[in-house]
Amino acid sequence: MAAYVAKRLLSLIPVLFVVSVAIFLIIHITPGDPASSILGMEATEEEIARLNAELGLDRPIAEQYVRWVAGLFRGDLGDSIFMRMPVSQAIAEHIGPTLSLALLAELFALVLAIPFGVLAAWKRGSLADYALMGATLLGMAVPSFLLGLLLMLAFGVKLGWLPVAGYKPLSAGLAEHLKFLILPAVSLGAIQAALIARMTRASVLDILNLPFVRTARSKGLGEAKVVGKHALRNALLPILTVIGQTFGTLVTGAVVVESIFNIPGLGQLILNSIERRDYAVIQGVVLIVTLIYVAINLIVDLLYGAVDPRVRLDKR
Amino acid sequence: MDTLNPDAYESVRRALSRERRRIRLARIRRNAGLQAGAVLFLFFVLMALAGPFLVSHDPAEMKVTDRLLPPSAEHWLGTDEFGRDLLARIVYGSRVSIGTGLSVALAASAAGLVIGLYASYYKTLDHILMRICDGLYAIPGILLAIALMAALGASVTNVIVALSVVYTPGIARIVRSAALSVRGQTFIEALEVQGAGATRIIWRHIMPNTLSPLIVQATFVFAEAIISEAALSFLGVGIPAPDPSWGNILQAGKLVIFKAWWMVVFPGIAIVLTVLGLNLLGDGLRDHLDPRLSGNRR
């Protein structure tokens, strides 16, 4: 197991190196130099030169990269030119709503997807199976920001059951917090629910064909026990993988959904920073979300390896 | 056998090829998803191609007195916040949205094909290219696209460039793994022994074996690119106004959601049906081209 963990961690090094180079270079592909686009048309030569020096953009590109990465190791993501505060502080102030939204969306997806996925596998070929699988196809074709708009229109504007947009932190009370997050969470979680339901169905179907399920049935166990206990438990591993992967996707998706519902999370931070050409913040947010994404995938892989020896012994 | 009359031989050959075509058609006919997907998708492609001849309104013509009119006989899908005809904007928007999706699918396929093929053939190159792909793949797609758009600036060309960068690594991986499974086979070794050059082996003998998975993946990338373009334009970093795209019509619709439901619902339907069509088409093609790849049928 230790060897597996070490191997998995080592394989991250080249990935993180490429990620850091790519994110670092993004600011440098800007047409013209960043300083003049930050300052606008009226800026004088001296002002541009001064800002370039302040941002360290007048140094050789390799040196800039090394400085940036060295900063990252100290937890220093640079400073926001517009907000006049460290990028790490800006991210810390905005990450709460994003994580809250992603967690709630995951919860919604699981509660909806696993029972329906098991049901579809159990009643394979039935009307219910076709209806559910049709619904998942439709679910995967509706982008989250569109579903968000439609839900907002239906439940916020027409019916008036839920707030149209906005956000209340957890400190305002759980009910209040959830009331504002229900529509965003449902719109974000729907695609994941469709994916997890399909995965659950496929993986339970695999198990239902195995001999031990036949044994369980032939010894007289009820269908509920066979499917719910024997089949589902053995089908959980692939399902867990999808859950892990989708949580990463949810954090990213939250960035888009937030902008619809005016939730002050990382999405709002990055979009506002684009308008202000605050490149350090853009880089910081992309980096942090990527790290969350990579870390979750790593944890899923390690758990998988811990549970299933075949994974960690696989020589690849 | 050499007594066989050439005419009889010819007619048998023709009957055989007719039969083969019949079987192929029958397989397509049994593949309901493939057909439904193709029909849905072709509908929108035709709309994009024939669009200008179909709508009587100019998508850019503003009329202050006609602001935010609900659907009517004059404006079938209503009007937007500048009094422009929504049907005309959605039809013209389909040219932008489908055109962008197609360009991204083609560009990412071409780049992914070259990278995947050469990576499968040269070991050192494989290590370098695949590490780069892994790295780019690790950055969540929509975020990478947002960051690239922030740097490049909003325009149709830049959306295509940014999304092609996002989708190339995935295609390269799929091409590479298809190519690797051919690479180890005896006939490639035989070709090498005979002295065939690398270019010839890669493009004449390995490449054709990667096309099925590539086409299937390109269909899904097409669908995802349409969604991503819409998301970018919706967030205001994609295709800039006044050119209509399904995403920026939705962006405008969000601002008037209290007054004009049609601005959100109709472009939304266009996106969903196009993407659904492409997804069905992709699933169907996968079953058709390589039944072994089919994940959800057993």
Q: Is the pLDDT of residue B66 over 80?
A: no
- Search chain A and give the residue with CA nearest B151: A30
Question: How many whole angstroms separate alpha carbon B25 and alpha carbon B31?
Answer: 10
- Residues of chain A with pLDDT > 70: what percent? 96
Please report, for residues A226, A295, B227, B256, B268, the alpha-carbon distance to residue A146 in angstroms, rounded to integers and kept in the order given.
39, 29, 10, 15, 6
Mean predicted confidence (pLDDT) in B94-104: 93
| Of B136, B143, B280, Cβ closest to residue A18 | B136
Output B41 or A234, whichever has higher pLDDT: B41
- Search chain A and give the residue with CA nearest B247: A146
């990463």: which residue's tokens? A248
| CB burial readout B102-118, b (16+ within 10 A) else e | bbbbebbbebbbbbbbb
Give pLDDT tens digits for A187-212.
999 988 998 898 888 888 888 888 88
**What are the tokens at B64?**
């202050």
A4 touches A312 (CB < 8 A):
yes
DSSP secondary structure letter of residue B296: S
Q: Is the pLDDT of residue B135 over 50?
A: yes
CA of B152 to nearest chain A CA: how many angstroms apart?
Answer: 6
Residue A314 — pLDDT band, cuts 50, 70, 90?
A: low
Cα angle A297, B215, B169; round to 5: 35
Residue A206: Cβ within 10 Å count: 15
SS3 content of chain B, % helix, strand, coil (to 5): 80, 0, 20
Identify all chain A residues contacting B261, using CB atoms and an 8 Å cutoff.
153, 157-158
Q: Is the pLDDT of residue B132 over 70?
A: yes
Give pLDDT tens digits for A94-132.
898 888 898 899 999 999 988 888 888 888 888 888 888
Look at B250 and A29 and tell me if their CB atoms are within 8 Å: no
**Amino acid B165: pLDDT:** 93
Q: Is the pLDDT of residue A265 over 50?
A: yes
**Amino acid B292: pLDDT:** 57
Question: How many whole angstroms separate alpha carbon B18 and alpha carbon B7?
Answer: 16
Question: How many whole angstroms separate alpha carbon B229 and alpha carbon B246?
Answer: 9
Residues 6+ apart with CB under 8 A from B1: none
Q: Is the pLDDT of residue B122 over 70?
A: yes
A48 touches A35 (CB < 8 A):
yes
Output B282 or A44, whichever has higher pLDDT: B282
Residue A156 — pLDDT band, cuts 50, 70, 90?
A: confident
Mean predicted confidence (pLDDT) in B102-118: 96
**Amino acid B291: pLDDT:** 58
SS3 content of chain A, % helix, strand, coil (to 5): 80, 0, 20
Question: How many whole angstroms separate alpha carbon B281 and alpha carbon A260?
Answer: 30
Question: How many whole angstroms separate alpha carbon A119 and alpha carbon B24?
Answer: 35
**What are the tokens at B286?**
């996968």
Give pLDDT tens digits for A13-66.
988 999 999 998 887 777 666 677 677 767 777 877 787 777 777 778 888 888
Most confident of A167-176, A306-315, B150-159: B150-159
- Max Cα–Cα distance, chain A, nearest Å: 86
Residue A3 — pLDDT band, cuts 50, 70, 90?
A: confident
Residue B296 — pLDDT band, cuts 50, 70, 90?
A: very low
**Amino acid A119: pLDDT:** 85
Give pLDDT tens digits for A292-307.
888 888 888 888 777 7
A290 touches A248 (CB < 8 A):
no
Count of positions (residues) in chain B: 298
Residue A279 — pLDDT band, cuts 50, 70, 90?
A: confident
Element (H, E) at A229: none
**Amino acid A32: pLDDT:** 62
Beta pairing class for A79-80 and A85-86: antiparallel
**Amino acid B116: pLDDT:** 94
| Of B151, B152, B276, Cβ closest to residue A137 | B276
**What are the tokens at A58?**
């007048």
- Asked if A12 is an interface residue toward chain B (Cβ–Cβ < 8 A), one would say no
- Search chain A and give the residue with CA nearest B273: A141
How would DSSP label each residue in A287-314? HHHHHHHHHHHHHHHHHHHHH-HHHHH-
Determine the 3-state secondary structure of A80 from DSSP.
strand
- Search chain A and give the residue with CA nearest B152: A30
Give pLDDT tens digits for B159-204.
999 999 999 999 999 999 999 988 888 898 899 899 888 899 999 9
Q: Could you tell me the sign of the dihedral formed by the alpha carbons of B199, B201, B202, B207, in that order? A: positive
Look at A27 and B151 and tell me if their CB atoms are within 8 Å: yes
Question: How many whole angstroms separate alpha carbon B115 and alpha carbon B112?
Answer: 5
**Amino acid B109: pLDDT:** 96
**Amino acid B298: pLDDT:** 33
pTM of the model as a whole: 0.85
**Amino acid B219: pLDDT:** 93
Mean predicted confidence (pLDDT) in A279-284: 88
Residue A181 — pLDDT band, cuts 50, 70, 90?
A: confident
CA of A283 to nearest chain B CA: how many angstroms apart?
Answer: 8
Look at A271 and B296 and tell me if their CB atoms are within 8 Å: no
Q: Could you tell me the sign of the dihedral formed by the alpha carbons of A167, A246, A148, A282, in that order? A: positive
Look at A153 and B234 and tell me if their CB atoms are within 8 Å: no
DSSP secondary structure letter of residue A28: G
B229 touches B277 (CB < 8 A):
no
**Amino acid B107: pLDDT:** 97
B4: left (phi over 0), alpha (psi -120 to 50) or beta: beta
CA A193 from centroid of its chain's CA atoms:
14
3-state secondary structure A94-128: HHHHHHHHHHHHHHHHHHHHHHHHHHHHHCCCCHH
B31 touches B287 (CB < 8 A):
yes
Look at B147 and A19 and tell me if their CB atoms are within 8 Å: no
Q: Is the pLDDT of residue B222 over 90?
A: yes
Question: How many whole angstroms separate alpha carbon B145 and alpha carbon A271?
Answer: 12
Question: How many whole angstroms separate alpha carbon A105 and alpha carbon A61?
Answer: 41
Stretch among A236-245, B105-114, B227-236 having the lowest mean pLDDT: A236-245
Q: Is the pLDDT of residue B112 over 90?
A: yes
Output B200 or B62, whichever has higher pLDDT: B200
CA A218 from centroid of its chain's CA atoms:
43
